[in-house]
Amino acid sequence: MRIFTSDKSARLYYLVQRARCVLRDVARVRRAYANSYWVAAIYLEDKAYGGSEEGGWWYSCGSLHIASDAPFPLYWTRGNKPEVAIQAMEAWCTEQNKDLPSISSVLSEGRYCVRVHRNNLPTHWPKKRPYYS
């Protein structure tokens, strides 16, 4: 049994214990969902010149697009996939891509697309520039 010298020390003890419980719960949730969350984000996808081997080759690349008019990246855990929000992102991309040429065109400056990743939000892809082999 705890003996407190004042009401203030009893409240402080209670708050510290409550904070410990909350932190323990947060840590438990982080461990449970550490490898099972998903993120959807909008990327600007394009082609990049890979090299001059065999007449030249190109590879697909992309970068995370965050702008004031674009939907922000969306995180979720298993069981509550937000299809409506992803459809809204895809609608935004379709609207933005309306007058843009294909990424195969020499006039291309990229096209917007929605990509879903597990456990991370890459800022660009690929991580390393591919090489011809």
Q: Which two tokens stand for residue 94?
A: 């379709």
Given pLDDT bands bounded at 50, 70 and 90, which one contains residue 55? confident
Specify the DSSP element, H or E, that contains 29.
Answer: helix 7-33
Q: Is residue 30 located within the same domain as residue 59?
A: no
pLDDT at 106: 86
Q: Is residue 67 located within the same domain as residue 21?
A: no
Q: Which domain covers residue 29, as residue numbers?
A: 1-34
Q: Is residue 99 located within the same domain as residue 43?
A: yes
In a domain, 77, yes or no: yes
User: Would you call the peptide bond into 126 cis, given omega within 30 degrees of 0 as the criterion?
Assistant: yes
In a domain, 133, yes or no: no
In a domain, 14, yes or no: yes
In a domain, 132, yes or no: no
pTM beyond cutoff 0.75 = no
Amino acid at 99: D
Amino acid at 55: G
Residue 34 predicted with pLDDT over 90? no
Angle at 33 between CA 77 and CA 124, to 5 degrees: 70
Q: Which two tokens stand for residue 93?
A: 């991309």
The predicted-structure confidence for 86-126, as pLDDT tens digits, reads as follows 888 899 999 999 999 999 888 999 999 999 887 777 888 89
